[in-house]
Amino acid sequence: KRRKVLNTSEELLELPKNELINRILQLEAHNKQLKSIVAKQNDSKTKQDSENRKRKRQFDFSRFPKQHIAIKLLYLGWDYQGFASIEDSTNTIEHHLFAALKKCCLIESREGSNYNRCGRTDKTVSAFDQVISLTVRAAKEGDPPLEYCKMLNRLLPKDIRTIAWKPVPENFSARFDCKRRTYRYFFPRGDLNLHAMQKGAEYLTGTHDFRNLCKMDVANGVVAFERTIEKAAIEIISKSSSHKGSGFEMCEFILTSKGFLWHQVRCIMGVLVLIGRGQEDPEIICQLLDTTAFPRKPQYCLAVGEPLNLFHCEFDLDNWMVEKSSMKEVVQTLQQEWATHSIKGVMIEQMLVGLDGMADSVNLQSGGLLQGTQSKVYTPLSKRPTCESLETRIAHYVKKGRIEV
């Protein structure tokens, strides 16, 4: 039953007090409901107006010329999930790189940028000389060149920095036009026998089948594992500091080739560590390169990723454009990073000095170079369980229709 509409004050005065109170409460509730509806409509209109303004402000790429360029960049990959973009994470170098490229309107999209990368470094791996190539917005005729490094470095995280760029031909590819790549793996000497490691490294030079010294990526169509190693060397890069003993000397494993397989450097370094510990002879490298002696890869631990660095990518390019103001900022940032980590290193070193004589002699600075846990009783590689053979893996993925041979 509908209430009678009261239009005059006389009619309202005739109502009992409790009914007046009920009517007031109902009116306030109705008023609140109406305000909510109006607010939602206003919010929707404001949002629509904002979207319309954004569309009006959308950058007009057609007003600018484009050019194909190569960009050099460095990054400390310790806290990232790798260089290449992955579906379930935004914590990659490429994610931050493309976010910056889009934000400063250098590209419309990755898909339309003719993008290539020189190296695909894995989780925690760093680079001093990574190179990418892509097509970007250029300055209008008569205007000074755009300062690409300065523009990008303002938007990138501090541990990712562009350092130089250069115009290149339209068909230039950072991946396919690279002449050679050099990786360096840094490690403390500890109790490792560097002479034995160097002897093992020398067996790597030349053209070999590295199926036993990489992670076979057959699922993605990689079925050929011959690669040519131009240089493989173990070198000391810094002598022992104030703390006594050569175990604190920093060393590096240098590996140069035109191209590398997945986890190739870390697999090789994992075996070299076993050689340095005296658990394997240097000749184990020769045996692993012989697919007759080792038709299947024995199971062994990868070297950890943090010490690995894509140190140099060589191209037939010169006269890279270096923006001095941007480079000064890059150097300052790296100096600050160096200071932070060096201070921590010195603090730990002084703790070790203070503990001298309180325990038996320990020389295991290199003890954390291998992933996973190692058995107390060592099993030689020749007696370990093995992975599936290359032929078995190929047959498996051919049957599933993933690859064609």
Enclosing domain of residue 111: 61-167
- Residue range 160-209, pLDDT digits in tens: 999 999 999 999 999 999 999 999 999 999 999 999 999 999 999 999 99
Distance of alpha carbon 218 from the chain centroid: 22
Q: Note the pLDDT of residue 340.
A: 96
Regarding whether 307 and 198 lie in a shared domain, the answer is yes
Does residue 54 form part of some domain? no
pLDDT band for position 372 (50/70/90)? confident
Same domain, 87 and 138: yes
Same domain? For 389 and 278 the reply is: yes
So what's the pLDDT on residue 56? 52
Q: How many domains does the chain have?
A: 2
- 189 belongs to a structural domain: yes
State residue 51's pLDDT score: 64
What tokens appear for 136 in the block?
Answer: 């970007």
Are 163 and 194 in a shared domain? no
Catalytic residue (choose from 79, 88, 122, 143): 122
The CATH number given to whatever domain includes residue 120 is 3.30.70.580
**What is residue 247's predicted lDDT score, i.e. its pLDDT?**
84
Instruction: Please indicate, yes or no, whether the overall pTM of this predicted structure exceeds 0.85.
Output: no
Tell me: do 208 and 154 sit in the same domain. Answer: no
- Give the 3-state DSSP-derived string for 341-368, with helices as H, strands as E and coil as C: HHHHHHHHHHHHHHCCCCCCCCCCCCCC
Residue 358 is assigned to a structural domain of this protein? no
Residues 201 and 140 in one domain: no
Residues 357, 385: Cα–Cα separation, whole Å = 42
Cα distance between residue 131 and residue 314, in whole Å: 9
pLDDT tens digits for range 220-250? 889 999 999 999 999 999 876 555 567 889 9
User: Does residue 296 sit in the same domain as residue 380?
Assistant: yes
Q: Are residues 135 and 187 in the same domain?
A: no
pLDDT number for residue 54: 57
Q: Are residues 395 and 291 in the same domain?
A: yes
Interval 376-389: pLDDT, tens: 899 999 999 999 99
- Average pLDDT of the residues in 203-219: 95
- Answer yes or no: is pLDDT of 6 > 70: no
Q: Is 166 within 8 Å of 321 (Cβ atoms)?
A: yes
More confident residue, 1 or 256: 256
* CB-based contact 149:323 (threshold 8 Å): yes
Is there a catalytic annotation at residue 209? no
